[in-house]
Amino acid sequence: MLELYEKTAIELGELLRTRQVASVEVTRSMLARIEATEEKLHSFVTVTPELALEMAAEADRRISAGTAGPLTGIPIAIKDNMCVKGLRASCASRILANFVAPYDATVVRRIRDAGMVILGTTNMDEFAMGSSTETSYWGPTRNPWHLDMIPGGSSGGSAASVAAGQAVVSLGSDTGGSIRLPASFCSVTGIKPTYGSVSRYGLVAYASSLDQIGPIARDATDLALMLNLLCGHDPMDSTSVPMEHPDFTSFLGKPIKGMTLGLPREFYSHLDDPDVSRVMADARKVFEGLGVSFVELSLPHLDYGIAAYYIIAPSEASSNLARYDGVKYGHRAENFDGMIDMYCRTRAEGFGAEVKRRIMLGTYALSSGYYDAYYLKAAKIRTLITEDFKSAFQTCDAILCPVAPTPPFKIGEKIDDPIQMYLTDVFTIPVNMAGLPGMSIPGGFSSTGLPVGLQLIAPHFAESRLVQLASAFQAETDHHLKRPPL
> What pLDDT is recorded for position 2?
87
- Which residues in 384-485 belong to E strands, given as ranges? 398-402, 438-445, 451-457
Rounded CA gap, 75 and 143, in Å? 21
- CB count in 10 Å sphere of residue 83: 23
Question: What predicted TM-score, i.e. pTM, was given to this entire model?
Answer: 0.98
Rounded CA gap, 33 and 486, in Å? 11
Q: Are 79 and 46 contacting, i.e. CB atoms less than 8 angstroms apart?
A: no
Q: Is 410 a catalytic residue?
A: no
Rounded CA gap, 182 and 363, in Å? 29
> What pLDDT is recorded for position 469?
98
Query: E strand or H helix at 285, and its extent?
Result: helix 274-289
Beta bridge pairs of residue 191: 439
- Average pLDDT for 405-428: 97
Domain map of the chain by residue range? 4-259+396-481
**pLDDT-derived band of residue 335, with 50, 70 and 90 as boundaries?**
very high
Rounded CA gap, 178 and 191, in Å? 10
Report the phi/psi class of residue 324: left, alpha or beta, with left for phi > 0 and alpha for psi in -120 to 50. beta
% residues pLDDT > 90 (the chain): 98
The three-state secondary structure class of 216 is strand
Q: Are 143 and 160 contacting, i.e. CB atoms less than 8 angstroms apart?
A: yes
- Average pLDDT for 75-82: 98
Catalytic residue among 132, 154, 170, 199: 154
Q: Are 215 and 171 contacting, i.e. CB atoms less than 8 angstroms apart?
A: yes
Give residue-wise pLDDT tens across range 204-238: 999 999 999 999 999 999 999 999 999 999 999 99
> What pLDDT is recorded for position 270?
78
Query: CA separation (Å) from 190 to 157, 217, 241, 400?
Result: 13, 6, 21, 15
% residues pLDDT > 70 (the chain): 100
Rounded CA gap, 101 and 81, in Å? 10
- Average pLDDT for 435-459: 98
Above 90 in pLDDT, residue 409?
Answer: yes
Rounded CA gap, 477 and 82, in Å? 34
Give residue-wise pLDDT tens across range 237-256: 999 999 999 999 999 999 99
> What pLDDT is recorded for position 1?
77
Above 80 in pLDDT, residue 461?
Answer: yes
Q: Are 184 and 156 contacting, i.e. CB atoms less than 8 angstroms apart?
A: no
Query: CA separation (Å) from 316 to 210, 236, 309, 401?
Result: 9, 20, 11, 28
Rounded CA gap, 101 and 111, in Å? 16
DSSP annotation of 82 reads B
Amino acid in the structure at residue 83: C
**What contacts 65, CB < 8 A, 6 or more positions away?**
none
Q: Is 208 a catalytic residue?
A: no
Concatenating the DSSP letter of every residue in 110-166 gives HHHHTT-EEEEEE--SGGG--SSS-S-TT----BTTBTTB---SSSHHHHHHHHTTS
Question: Minimal CA–CA distance to 203: which of 191, 190, 213, 192?
Answer: 213
Give residue-wise pLDDT tens across range 186-207: 999 999 999 999 999 999 999 9
Q: Is 319 a catalytic residue?
A: no
Above 90 in pLDDT, residue 331?
Answer: yes
At the fourth CATH level, the homologous superfamily of domain 4-259+396-481 is Amidase signature (AS) domain (3.90.1300.10)
> What pLDDT is recorded for position 269?
87
- Which residues in 4-139 belong to E strands, given as ranges? 44-47, 75-79, 117-122
Above 80 in pLDDT, residue 98?
Answer: yes
Beta bridge pairs of residue 172: 214
- Average pLDDT for 275-301: 98
Amino acid in the structure at residue 268: Y
Q: How far is CA 345 from the centre of its chain?
A: 32
Rounded CA gap, 337 and 229, in Å? 50
- Average pLDDT for 106-111: 98
Give residue-wise pLDDT tens across range 151-186: 999 999 999 999 999 999 999 999 999 999 999 999
Query: CA separation (Å) from 445 to 279, 403, 463, 478, 482?
Result: 7, 13, 26, 11, 10
- Average pLDDT for 261-287: 96
Rounded CA gap, 258 and 278, in Å? 24
Q: How far is CA 112 from the centre of its chain?
A: 20
**In whole numbers, what is the pLDDT of the chain averaged over residues?**
97
* Helix 305-320 and helix 377-392, axial crossing angle in degrees, nearest 10: 130
Alpha helices, DSSP H, located in 297-444:
305-320, 339-350, 353-366, 377-392, 418-423, 429-434
Q: Are 443 and 478 contacting, i.e. CB atoms less than 8 angstroms apart?
A: no
